[in-house]
Amino acid sequence: MDTSSAPGEGPVRPVSVSLHEGTIAALRARTGKGGMSAYVEAIIQRQLERDRVRELIEDAETEHGPVDHAAVESKRAILRGDSADAADAA
């Protein structure tokens, strides 16, 4: 297996996966038969990205300690444009 290509790169080739019938039906209803591969590819790429982010968070927490949830909420309030009073209440 060639692992030199990054997710989303390299030639496309068929693989076999097993899915529950209900999952297949829902997938076909959402994508049509022709769009299934692109949909599944996008889902897998998104999950790989999430896995990598989780690994980076775990590495950072190992090095710097756990996340300060109050600080995170304060930063979220700033990004949302909440007032300073609302950020302090969170």
The answer to the question of residue 3 being in a domain is no
The answer to the question of residue 82 being in a domain is yes
The answer to the question of residue 63 being in a domain is yes
The number of domains in the chain is 1
The answer to the question of residue 73 being in a domain is yes
The answer to the question of residue 2 being in a domain is no
Write out pLDDT tens, residues 8-38.
899 999 999 999 999 999 999 999 888 999 9
The answer to the question of residue 77 being in a domain is yes
* Of 43, 36, 48, 37, the residue nearest 6 (C-alpha): 48
Judge whether residue 87 has pLDDT over 50: no
pTM of this prediction exceeds 0.75: no
The answer to the question of residue 44 being in a domain is yes
The answer to the question of residue 64 being in a domain is yes
Contacts of residue 31, defined as CB under 8 A and 6 or more positions apart, other chains included, come to: 38, 39
Check: CB of residue 19 under 8 Å from CB of residue 28: no
